[in-house]
């Protein structure tokens, strides 16, 4: 697991973590994006994650993105995510994938997303 940092399309700095298989060169890997739930105040942190290790052990790179609205990066970072579901929050995750592809880490033809409770909640709220 290594910390990552990239610039979102609007210039905001976004942080997260990237895990790659030990026996790989870390290039052109199938990528699984595993966003945390929440969305507000929750964050991915530097610690053992059984799901991540299971996937990495099977040859996948796993990215955990602390998109805007996540905790741990100050009140501003959390606040700029308010009412941005389906907008900048999701853009941050898309920009993370683009960053990984541009860096040569991820194979653009093999990207998947794990769906946390947050994503289901967002879809439900969009129907209201």
Is residue 91 within 8 A of residue 9, CB to CB? The reply is: yes
pLDDT tens, position by position, 62-100: 999 888 877 777 687 667 666 666 677 788 889 999 999
Provide the residue range defining the domain that includes 64. 2-126
Pick the more confident residue, 69 or 114.
Answer: 114
**Parallel, antiparallel, or unpaired: how do β-strands 13-19 and 2-7 relate?**
antiparallel
Number of structural domains in the chain = 1
pLDDT of amino acid 80: 65
CATH of the domain at 80: 3.40.50.1820
Element (H, E) at 76: helix 75-79
* Residue from 88, 90, 113 nearest 33 by CA: 113
φ/ψ of 93, rounded to 5, equals -70, -40
Element (H, E) at 90: helix 88-102
pTM of the model: 0.81
């Amino acid at each position: 697991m290594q910390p990552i940092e990239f610039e979102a399309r609007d210039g905001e700095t976004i942080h997260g973590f990237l895990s790659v298989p030990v026996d790989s060169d870390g290039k052109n890997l199938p990528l699984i994006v595993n966003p945390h739930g929440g969305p507000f105040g929750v964050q991915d942190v530097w610690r053992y994650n059984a799901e991540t290790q299971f996937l990495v052990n099977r040859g996948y790179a796993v990215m955990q993105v602390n998109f805007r609205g996540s905790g741990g990066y100050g009140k501003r970072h959390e606040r700029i995510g308010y009412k941005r579901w389906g907008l900048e929050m999701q853009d941050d995750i898309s920009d993370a994938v683009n960053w990984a592809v541009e860096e040569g880490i991820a194979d653009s033809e093999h990207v998947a997303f794990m769906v946390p409770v947050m994503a289901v909640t967002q879809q439900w709220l969009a129907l209201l």
